[in-house]
Amino acid sequence: LQQGFLAQSRDFRKSRDPVQLLAETVRIAPSRSGYVIDVSAEREDPREAAQIVNAVVDAYLAENRRRRLGVSEDGIQELRVKADEMRGKMDAAETELHQFMVSNRMVSFEDAQNIVVERLKGLNQNLMEAEPKRVQAEATFRAADSALKAGKPIESIPGVLESPIIGELKLDLARLEQKYSEMQSRLGENHPQLQSVSVQIEALRTKVAMESTHILGALHERYEQALREEEMLRAQLQEQENNVLRFNELASKYNLLKQSRDSLQATYATIIRRIDEHYVSRLSG
């Protein structure tokens, strides 16, 4: 009011108490509808009365907008300065987060996290499958080795006995031994045919022994291979667990950087929204 029409009015300029004069000039009363108020002014000049009414109404609306927004023009300027400051901090936080991702070779933090976790799960699963294989291979080899040391026939050792090749050789050997027994009773010890069968029997026994030794060696190699595989998986699992621990440290730093960036973005958005609301209210008022 002090900067508008009333500042130019002669009566108000000369008055010792322009506020009191305004209060005596203006009349405000609620309308019959209850939704608006009636504002009137008593002046000799109708045009001057209308100007006073308009000045009062404009001042009321401006004050109402200021109270509703909770910010003055000076406050809006402060918000602009704050917005520029927050924008700089937000850009710096975004840059720091990006540099963190680049330095740790991450295209997506979530994807990197999934890769680390899935590899750990895969190694755990592989180890769970490899361990019983090693246990079974070791048990078979230990049983065969103990039987051999106990003086049992090599072809009767567990793992050897189940071999289909050994089974066929022993069947052939049983047939030849049966043939030898029948020929011995008819032909005598020194008969050439009997000697020939005896040579075949010895050859089969040698073959059975060689095949049994080969199978025993294969059992040992199978056990050693299963053991190496298990030890390798354990080493890989340990390494991956260390990778997970290191990644968890990176995750903590990533979350701090992201939270800082997000917080700055939220604050910046709030400031911009208040500035926008102020100007929208001014336009609508």
What sign for the dihedral angle of Cα 267, 272, 273, 275?
Answer: positive
* Closest to 206 measured CA to CA, from 257, 161, 155: 155
CA-angle at 197, arms to 196 and 203, nearest 5°: 95
Query: Do the Cβ atoms of 115 and 187 come closer than 8 Å?
Result: no
Rounded Cα gap, residues 260 and 262, in angstroms:
6
Give per-residue pLDDT as tens, 61-84.
Answer: 766 666 655 555 666 788 888 889
Determine the Cα–Cα distance for residues 168 and 119; give it in Å rounded to an integer: 47
Cα–Cα distance between 120 and 284 in angstroms, integer? Answer: 60
DSSP for 129-176 reads HHHHHHHHHHHHHHHHHHHHHTT--GGGSTTTTT-HHHHHHHHHHHHH
Residue 3 has a pLDDT of 47
Length of the chain: 285
Q: Which amino acid type is present at position 256?
A: L
Tokens standing for residue 249: 């440290």
Question: Tens digit of pLDDT for each residue in 123-153?
Answer: 999 999 999 999 999 988 888 888 777 777 7
For the chain, the average pLDDT equals: 81
Give pLDDT, residue 68: 59
CA proximity to 285, closest of 104, 54, 64: 64
Tokens of 54: 């308009």
Q: Backbone dihedral region of 159: left (phi > 0), alpha (psi from -120 to 50 degrees) or beta? A: left
The SS3 assignment for 30 reads strand
Q: What is the pTM of this model?
A: 0.50
